[in-house]
């Protein structure tokens, strides 16, 4: 039996150790088995789900319904799922999710915006790897000039927008 066939068999006839063992060869089917058939967490399905950042995140969110080291570690293999794990599962910043999110400019920016809710050097540095996210970081996190974001947008399509934003800040200070 393939993992898909084992999953479908279990849907029709109920859980069996044999079908569970087969589905655990597939991260997707192991997660689906835990969600649709067992309807509870188990070490074997969790371990199999953790072979994928996506399935580890979904397992934590929908099956465990709490943070766990194993699902977090698996989620942290992908900056997007590390960011989501911190935001939706941990509901706080942690060094491991922060480090993983900072591997990508977009998720470093989002981490600063939605998790830290304030600027930090590590998220700014990572966001500045991409001029677009450096600009967004200035606009929504720093909300003011910072030399690092300026250097990141200088001589790019975002330089003019950056300058307009800073001019608006200065005008509002005068008024």
8 A C-beta contact, residue 44 and residue 15: no
Judge whether residue 172 has pLDDT over 80.
no
Judge whether residue 155 has pLDDT over 80.
yes
Judge whether residue 173 has pLDDT over 80.
no
8 A C-beta contact, residue 11 and residue 37: yes
Task: Read off the DSSP letter of residue 70.
Answer: H
Judge whether residue 174 has pLDDT over 80.
no
Report how far residue 60's alpha carbon sits from residue 54's, in angstroms, rounded to the nearest whole number.
10
Judge whether residue 170 has pLDDT over 90.
no
Report how far residue 62's alpha carbon sits from residue 100's, in angstroms, rounded to the nearest whole number.
22
What is the pLDDT, as a whole number, of residue 169?
Answer: 83
Q: What is the pLDDT of residues 87-114, one digit of tens each?
A: 999 999 999 999 999 999 999 999 999 9
User: Band of the pLDDT at 71, cuts 50, 70, 90?
Assistant: very high
Report how far residue 61's alpha carbon sits from residue 72's, in angstroms, rounded to the nearest whole number.
11
What is the pLDDT, as a whole number, of residue 175?
Answer: 61
């Amino acid at each position: 039996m393939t993992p898909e066939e084992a999953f479908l068999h279990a849907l029709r006839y109920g859980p069996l150790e044999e079908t569970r063992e087969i589905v655990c060869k597939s991260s997707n089917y192991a997660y689906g088995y835990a969600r649709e058939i067992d309807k509870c967490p188990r070490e074997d399905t969790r371990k199999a789900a953790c072979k994928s950042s996506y399935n580890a995140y979904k397992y934590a969110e929908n099956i465990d319904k709490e943070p766990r080291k194993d699902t977090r570690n698996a989620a942290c293999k992908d900056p997007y799922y590390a960011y989501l794990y911190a935001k939706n599962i941990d509901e706080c910043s942690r060094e491991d999710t922060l480090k993983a999110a900072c591997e990508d400019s977009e998720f470093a920016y989002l981490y600063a915006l939605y998790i830290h809710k304030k600027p930090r050097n590590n998220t700014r540095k990572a966001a500045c790897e991409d001029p677009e996210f450096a600009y967004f970081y200035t606009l929504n996190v720093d909300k003011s000039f910072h030399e690092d974001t300026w250097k990141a947008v200088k001589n790019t399509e975002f330089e003019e927008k950056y300058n307009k934003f800073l001019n608006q800040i200065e005008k509002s200070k005068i008024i």
